[in-house]
Amino acid sequence: MLIPLTRETFQELIPAVATGAQYKYIWGKPPDFLRRMLISAVILVFVLVIYNFAGSDVGPLILITGLMAGLYWLWGPILWASLRNAECRKYKYCGFWQGRVLDIYITDEVTSQEETVNQKGQLVIVDNLEPRINVEVGDKTGFTTTLKAPLQKDHQGIVPGQAALMLIMSNQEDLGRIAKVSDIYIPSREVWVSDYPYLRKDLFVEMSQQIKKGRQKKGRDTDNQSRGAKRRSSADY
């Protein structure tokens, strides 16, 4: 099932400015925080050097620049998350997609490398591996895609055959060519599979429930019309 969505809904689901979940994701682990702190310190020192050469003529500008540089560790995640959102929002059209989980498998991915010395004094590069879940989803039209994400404990309940929901993006109005997909939501388990949390989860879940209720109501109306037609046919006979 594929239902086109309005541009307004698209922009609500993937906002221009980073959400709390996106900020937390980009914030990362302690090494990521230390890296931002180092960048802030380097830029701040560079700004002070410029100030010493330029003098007081550019004092206010240097002060503002220095303040922003010193707080890069804090606002940097907002910038990078917003840029990732912009990559999605550049597509002209989007749609609500529902299909099924086709396959699930686990792989190991190299997340970082460390240099160490073995007992023989030789330099050895050690790969740090992280387990990843690969979820393949598809529908009756033949469309399939696989999303890879860090393995979480609640992913254990995902099995083939379960309904899978996500947002698809395209530059074609009929959504005939899908350029990008969002995180995957498994409603039966209330579980998300995502490497980066593109969607506002609360709005997406609410929208999916409204679509489900609308389809159920339409189905009941169709059944009532069919039964009414049968009764009229019997009466005519």
pLDDT of residue 209: 93
Residue 233 pLDDT = 53
pLDDT of 114 above 80: no
Please report, for the chain, the start and end positions of each structural domain, with discontinuous segments joined by +: 2-6+92-215, 21-87
Q: Comparing 225 with 169, which gets the higher pLDDT?
A: 169
pLDDT, position 237:
44
The per-residue pLDDT of the chain, averaged, comes to 87
Retrieve residue 173's tokens.
């109005």
| Distance between CA atoms of residues 141 and 205, nearest Å | 24
The tens digit of pLDDT for each residue in 22-58 reads 999 999 988 899 999 999 999 888 888 877 777 666 6
Q: What percent of the chain has pLDDT over 70?
A: 88
pLDDT single digits (tens) 58-76: 667 777 888 888 899 999 9
